A and B are shown apart, each in its own frame.
Chain A
Amino acid sequence: MPWFRRRQAAAIVDAPPAIEQDPGSGGFFRRIGGRRHRVGIPYVLPTDLAEINRLDFQHYMLRFALRGNFAAPAQGPSAILDVGGGTGRWALELASVFPQAQIISLDLSDPTAPGSALAGAVLPSNLRFQVANLLEGLPYPDASFDFVHQRLLVFALPLERWPDDVRELVRVTRPGGWIELVEGRPAVHVRTPALTTLHQWVLDFCARRNIDPLVGNQIGDYLRRGGLHHVTMREIRLPLGRKGGHLGTMAETDYFSGFAALRPILISQGITTGEAFDEMMRSARKELDTGRYEWSFYIAYGQRTAM
């Protein structure tokens, strides 16, 4: 019997569902309304097959929209780090672009584990996946990499951890090397009623974990404050909705898949009900059909001062 069930005086407030361990990756998870969430981190989105598919779809959408996998002027790097590498797609493609470089993709799970995104894939010899929690700091010596990349961690990093995170990225980057951050920012400027309600529910939930999904447009400032030079930030506005053509339809699919991924946890947290959520999703899709809307992504890169 767990210790906390032996002591009557210490009642657990908001006891969470039981933890399960994935037999393939060994990771620890909780099932919330049919979606699988990793325990022990503030990340708000699920970690399951549906989310792997959404992330891979998002990877291809971004590569198409951004016309490539990175923007920093990294010239012939010999060591590349991808922080929060997720399904591993970005690192896998970079391994082909820079065959002379050693590439490490770091995340809480190994995407080559059974049942994961790259299970059974034949991997290039210059690519390695490392399991670690970036919130503990990066497990590398100072000045280990020429190019450090971090993408789409706004739903994983509590607001107060951003400066520490960038400090770690700078620490492991070699003098003269480049750091690139890529983040999206929810389209809260679209003030249609249903979409505004959906955004507010997500923001309310994220606030409980000290996560601010709206920091995406500040990543350039974080790099500057981290001491980098030649900091450049670009905003890329994706069309959002079918009126935006092929890319707009792709973006809408990804956007609403993200909302759908959060449906169970928003309900379990008492933020909304299933009926209200489903009604808002239907209404928000109709709203996007009435006008031309955009979803912004930001790419910021900067260089560590050469010695």
Chain B
Amino acid sequence: MGMGVRLYEAILSRPESIARIRAAQRDIERLGGRVSFAPPAPGGLILVTLALPETLTPAQVLPGIPFAPA
């Protein structure tokens, strides 16, 4: 049976947050995770979804980015 995946989400508006996530995307995928970005909403907020193996937490792969469990 495959390892479970947990979903986390963050609503972000700062370009530096998005840039950090994009920079970490390959490393996250190497660890078995995935990142997806929704198109920006009015006001500039972007919904970022992070899927991680149950053994990892957002704080381990993207410390400081305010992800919340979906």
- Which A residues from 91 to 113 make CB contacts under 8 A with B? 108-110, 113
- Give Cα A26 to B5, complex, Å: 28
- Give Cα A290 to B43, complex, Å: 49
Tell me if B69 and A209 are in contact (CB < 8 A). yes
Among the listed B47, B54, B67, which residue makes an inter-chain contact with A28, where contact means beta carbons less than 8 Å apart?
B47
Tell me if A136 and B66 are in contact (CB < 8 A). yes
| Residue B30 at the chain A interface, CB threshold 8 Å | no
Tell me if B68 and A4 are in contact (CB < 8 A). no
Tell me if A13 and B54 are in contact (CB < 8 A). yes
Within 8 Å CB of A131, what residues of B?
Answer: 13, 43-45
| Residue A163 at the chain B interface, CB threshold 8 Å | no
A133-B6 contact, Cβ under 8 Å, with A3-B34, A28-B11, A41-B66: no
Name the residue of chain B whose CB is nearest to the CB of A21. Answer: B41
- Which B residues from 1 to 43 make CB contacts under 8 A with A? 1-7, 9-14, 17, 32, 34, 36, 38, 41-43
Closest CB in chain A relative to B69 CB, distance in Å: 7
Among the listed B1, B10, B32, B42, which residue makes an inter-chain contact with A40, where contact means beta carbons less than 8 Å apart?
B10
Tell me if A136 and B14 are in contact (CB < 8 A). yes
| Residue A119 at the chain B interface, CB threshold 8 Å | no
Count of residues in B whose CB is under 8 Å from the partner chain? 34
Q: Which of B12, B43, B69 has the most CB of A within 10 A?
A: B43
Tell me if B11 and A108 are in contact (CB < 8 A). yes
Tell me if A27 and B45 are in contact (CB < 8 A). yes
Closest CB in chain B relative to A42 CB, distance in Å: 4
Tell me if A4 and B34 are in contact (CB < 8 A). yes
Name the residue of chain B whose CB is nearest to the CB of A28. Answer: B47
Within 8 Å CB of B70, what residues of A?
Answer: 16, 39
Within 8 Å CB of B38, what residues of A?
Answer: 28
A132-B13 contact, Cβ under 8 Å, with A11-B5, A16-B70: yes
A9-B11 contact, Cβ under 8 Å, with A26-B42, A131-B43: no
Tell me if B47 and A38 are in contact (CB < 8 A). no
- Give Cα A100 to B65, complex, Å: 36
Name the residue of chain A whose CB is nearest to the CB of B4. Answer: A13
Within 8 Å CB of B66, what residues of A?
Answer: 41-42, 133, 135-136, 161
Within 8 Å CB of A28, what residues of B?
Answer: 11, 38, 41, 45, 47
- Give Cα A137 to B15, complex, Å: 12
Tell me if B51 and A4 are in contact (CB < 8 A). yes
Q: A2-B36, A3-B36, A136-B65 are in contact. List 18 more A-B contacts (CB 8 A).
A: A4-B7, A4-B51, A11-B5, A12-B6, A13-B6, A15-B7, A16-B70, A26-B41, A26-B42, A40-B9, A40-B47, A108-B45, A131-B44, A132-B13, A133-B10, A133-B13, A139-B14, A208-B69
